[in-house]
Amino acid sequence: MDLTSYLQERKSLIEAELTRSLKDSEIPKTLRQAMTYSLEAGGKRLRPILTLAGAEAVGGSLENVLPIAVALEMIHTFSLIHDDLPAMDDDDLRRGKPTNHKVFGEAVAILAGDALLAEAFLMMTKRKDSIPADRFMEVIHDIAIASGARGMTGGQVIDMEATGHEISEQSVEAIHRHKTGKLLTVSVVVGAKLSGASSLHLNALQKYGEAIGLAFQIADDILDLEGTEEEIGKDVRSDVSNAKATYPSIFGLEGARAKAKKLVDDAIGALETFDERAEPLRLLAHYIIERRK
Amino acid sequence: MDLTSYLQERKSLIEAELTRSLKDSEIPKTLRQAMTYSLEAGGKRLRPILTLAGAEAVGGSLENVLPIAVALEMIHTFSLIHDDLPAMDDDDLRRGKPTNHKVFGEAVAILAGDALLAEAFLMMTKRKDSIPADRFMEVIHDIAIASGARGMTGGQVIDMEATGHEISEQSVEAIHRHKTGKLLTVSVVVGAKLSGASSLHLNALQKYGEAIGLAFQIADDILDLEGTEEEIGKDVRSDVSNAKATYPSIFGLEGARAKAKKLVDDAIGALETFDERAEPLRLLAHYIIERRK
């Protein structure tokens, strides 16, 4: 199986649905432009790709889980817009383009983020009659936990409070588990859960998700340290200059690489009860630490 | 029926549930403090009170709809925190207390708002087994519409864009219908919808909600114009100094009062098919334009 063409095909599917979702004249024009600007600014679409791959691994239908997949990308995009704000990381560039508040101003950027979060929950109610409503309710619950005070948003607060302080391996892990890990993990699990996966399979996907979630963040830290501005599209070493807690700062570059590799092995190990339909998930685990941007 | 003691009793019920909902050690301390600060800053709790009254009017159980009622107060609070930010209305006081960003800083205030929105959707998944999941899904859908790009958040953008421009009655109405009307209307409807109300009753409550939503905003505009700082707990005439679109600026003070009164009559008229269980809704319609703060 060719991962490059697989990723490309899935990206197209997801981006078509993203674009379709905001073509609604009920949304005021400026707000729609700001939301669309960040949603269409590119990116790997990793979270929705994981959702589709999770469904695929248990024989689920892609069409049924596409709205949930797209909702997860909206939540990710909302978090990027708010993280970039002057009051937060104060970034001017994101994926090589001016950040949302640089183009639309701070007020509209805040509201575009807010609207994307609400829109994500709206997408989650686009239910297919073939799937019981109870399952959707569970999925909405899981995503609300992963994105809110107990997950991503909480992680952002912990991260801010740790910045500038010397912190332990344990603290770095807690930050990343909340800030990026929980949303990545839930992305893997909810596609399978909607598709009616067994709890054995869901537990395995949870473990897979937690491992790749952490591996992803370590790879990000490494890229940030060694990347060129061109490759990652934002100010290089911004984490270093902001004195953020990173894996290479604790384990050194080689130690961080070894830890990421071990996590990928763990992730693939967690999938042993799955058949060849989990092949995309296995390849994605490798991709997560080998990507260049 | 004594409205004052009714309101007090409902407020206690709602505030106890609000406080309970955030007592969770999984939420990082600073974030929990910031969320709690604004949730416990007082306020009339009008939206959740309307949700409970909507359920009551069709014979529904208060206990079953309490989580949804509380979710609506969280969404309202999220919008107040973000509206007060320096990039938006830049207010220092809210209900006589320093605004969230004045106490916790801009970054935490943005994140506290974000977290309250996610938390609201989490509350909506606290379903009682006695109510079909389908009904919850419909309610989550309605609330996502009312709070996001097609509702409250969109209204904030339209309002910002109109500020400083001369605008028509139609535009003022469009702003308020989005910015405050849709969330108030959905607050009235969802309690009844969860309780299994007929579509005849739901349509009537929708009309009631739209009328009191607009009346509420007109009353707010009037209060803002004639209120004292003590009474409304924020800088008086802030709308005037910000050149915001208001009803008194279009109709004059007396014209605005007459319009509000007509809307309250319309709202009560919409309830003619309801029995005495809708008495709280009828009294609430009067209260909305007669309140002093």
A208-220, pLDDT tens digit by residue? 999 999 999 999 9
pLDDT above 80 (res A293): no
CA atoms within 13 A on the CB side of A38: 35
Q: What is the mean pLDDT of residues A16-43?
A: 95
CA distances from A28 to A111, A291, B89, B247 (A): 12, 37, 19, 22
The pLDDT value given to residue A106: 98
Decide if B134 and A137 are in contact by the 8 Å CB cutoff: no
Spatial contact of B85 and B110, defined as CB atoms under 8 Å apart? yes
Decide if A107 and B160 are in contact by the 8 Å CB cutoff: yes
Find chain A residues with C-beta within 8 A of B88's C-beta.
107, 110
CA distances from B98 to A209, B29, B87 (A): 42, 20, 16
For an interface test with B, give the residue of A150, A152, A178 to mutate (most B CBs within 10 A): A150
Chain B's closest residue to A87, CA to CA, is: B107
Chain A's closest residue to B113, CA to CA, is: A114
Instruction: Please indicate whether residue A180 or residue A127 has the higher confidence score (pLDDT).
Output: A180
Residue found under tokens 């974000």: B114
Q: Tokens standing for B281?
A: 């809704």
Instruction: Please indicate whether residue A243 or residue A84 has the higher confidence score (pLDDT).
Output: A84
Distance in angstroms between the alpha carbons of the first and the last residue of chain A: 22
The pLDDT value given to residue B163: 81
Find chain A residues with C-beta within 8 A of B22's C-beta.
149
The pLDDT value given to residue A135: 95
B171: exposed, middle or buried (Cβ count in 10 Å: 0-12, 13-18, 19+): middle
The pLDDT value given to residue B87: 97
The pLDDT value given to residue B233: 58
Mean pLDDT by 10 residues, chain B (293 residues): 95 96 94 98 95 98 96 98 97 96 98 98 90 95 98 95 82 90 98 98 98 95 74 54 73 93 98 98 96 67
Decide if B144 and A125 are in contact by the 8 Å CB cutoff: yes
Q: How far is B67 from chain A (nearest CA, A)?
A: 13
- Looking only at the bridges linking them, the beta strands covering A97-98 and A93-94 are antiparallel
Q: How far is B229 from chain A (nearest CA, A)?
A: 26
Q: How far is it, in rounded angstroms, from Cα A176 to Cα B82?
A: 26
Chain A's closest residue to B118, CA to CA, is: A148
The pLDDT value given to residue A225: 84
CA distances from A149 to A144, A145, A223 (A): 9, 7, 28
Find chain A residues with C-beta within 8 A of B165's C-beta.
none
Structural domains for chain A: 3-290 (1.10.600.10)
Q: What is the mean pLDDT of residues A136-161?
A: 96
% residues pLDDT > 70 (chain A)? 93
The pLDDT value given to residue B255: 94
The pLDDT value given to residue B28: 96
The pLDDT value given to residue A31: 98
Q: What is the mean pLDDT of residues A37-60?
A: 97
- Tell me the H-state helices in chain B: 3-21, 29-39, 46-57, 62-84, 100-104, 106-124, 133-147, 152-162, 169-176, 182-194, 199-226, 229-232, 238-241, 247-270, 279-290
- Looking only at the bridges linking them, the beta strands covering B93-94 and A97-98 are unpaired
State pLDDT tens for residues A192-206.
999 999 999 999 999
State pLDDT tens for residues A99-134.
999 999 999 999 999 999 999 999 999 977 889 999
Chain A's closest residue to B158, CA to CA, is: A28
Q: What is the mean pLDDT of residues A26-47?
A: 96
The pLDDT value given to residue A1: 85
The pLDDT value given to residue B293: 54
Can you give the length of chain B in residues?
293
Q: How far is it, in rounded angstroms, from Cα B265 to Cα B202?
A: 18
The pLDDT value given to residue B234: 56
Decide if A115 and B148 are in contact by the 8 Å CB cutoff: yes
pLDDT above 90 (res A240): no
The pLDDT value given to residue A235: 53
Find chain A residues with C-beta within 8 A of B194's C-beta.
none
Instruction: Please indicate whether residue A250 or residue B122 has the higher confidence score (pLDDT).
Output: B122
- Segment (H or E) for A50: helix A46-57
